[in-house]
Structure 1
Amino acid sequence: MRAPHQDARLVLLVAVGGALGTAARYGVSGVVAPAASGFPTATLLENVIGSLLLGVLAETLVRRGAESPRGRLLRLGLGTGALGGFTTFSSLAIELERLLAAGAAGVAGLYAAASLALGLGAAVAGIRLGARLARPRAGGPAGAGS
């Protein structure tokens, strides 16, 4: 079996997922206006939603056991690709730098703290939700329908 980065089909899957995730992030950024203080609301929202969804995806896949070919496609296409394109550490870093350069240290501190706390909280909530979704249903074996 070839490593994922050597399989052109998997690389294409990640690229397509990334393009879709980036397009979704662009859409959110176009709808959610920054606060008057310059607080980057859209990026915070994108990263928190992405953290939640990555938590759900990761926990759901882990609870299925050993990675299957379908699980690999989901992990790479949705996780690395779409959610990797939707979330954005680089925008967070640039926005923090711009806030600090503009002398808005308080807003920058609040943004950094909110990003960390809300992102971590969303990831934990996603993991819990993924665990709940992956529980075996009454009358069926664990992982049925995988």
Structure 2
Amino acid sequence: MTTSAAAHPTRRDLADVAFGGAAGALLRGAVVSGATLAGAAGAVLGVLAANLIGAAALGWLLGRSRTDARVARWTAFLGSGVLGAFTTFSTLADQVARAAASGEVAVAVLLAVGSVSGGVVAAAAGLHLGSRDGDPAGDGRVDRTLQDPAPQDPAPEGSP
């Protein structure tokens, strides 16, 4: 989705976000369920892992979409949809509130600060890596082979 598309999303954009969101929620459920099997703190660690992985992946996606038109086409599905549902601020807020209410203030503070600061660092790292993928030499020049081919000139008038 482009900036103008964000103001006026198409039906395709909305479908991409909806189907991507369903996939992302299922993936998060699998990560949290798998982490919960590891013990009592597993659910908290699973949400933390999903948020940090999601932040890094979203950073990469946004960085890569700047240099690769093929990736840019997938930002509604993967970014807003899959990664938007894979990450979860509401569950994080609930976990922080529950830890604080049960007297585990240090855990609440570590979870909140670790999630937010870790998410920012993960997103920045992903953005850097995604941006570098389109600039493998690191010299500021984008590999144009990753871009959509230039549109072909229309056939001259009178040609079949």
Give the TM-score of the pair, scaled to structure 1: 0.82
Contact 1:136 1:143 (8 Å CA) reproduced: no
C-alpha deviation, 1:102, in angstroms: 1.2
Deviates more, 1:29-38 or 1:110-119: 29-38
Could you tell me which residue of structure 2 aligns to residue 14 of structure 1? 17
Contact 1:60 1:134 (8 Å CA) reproduced: yes
1:1-146 equivalences in 2 (<5 Å): 3=5, 5-33=8-36, 36=40, 40-64=44-68, 70-135=70-135, 142-146=143-147
Contact 2:96 2:108 (8 Å CA) reproduced: yes
Contact 1:10 1:73 (8 Å CA) reproduced: no
For 1:62, the aligned partner's letter is R
Contact 2:66 2:72 (8 Å CA) reproduced: no
Q: Which has the higher contact order (CA 8 A, sep 6+)?
A: 1
Give unpaired runs (5+ residues) of structure 2.
148-160
Task: Write out the 4+ residue segments of structure 1 that deviate beyond 6 Å after TM superposition.
Answer: none
Give the TM-score of the pair, scaled to structure 2: 0.76
In 2: Cα distance, 1:98 partner to 1:36 partner: 14
Contact 2:33 2:43 (8 Å CA) reproduced: no
Give unpaired runs (5+ residues) of structure 1.
none
Could you tell me which residue of structure 1 aligns to residue 154 of structure 2? none
Distance 1:72 1:133, change over 3 A: closer
| Percent pairwise identity | 36
In 1: Cα distance, 2:84 partner to 2:107 partner: 26
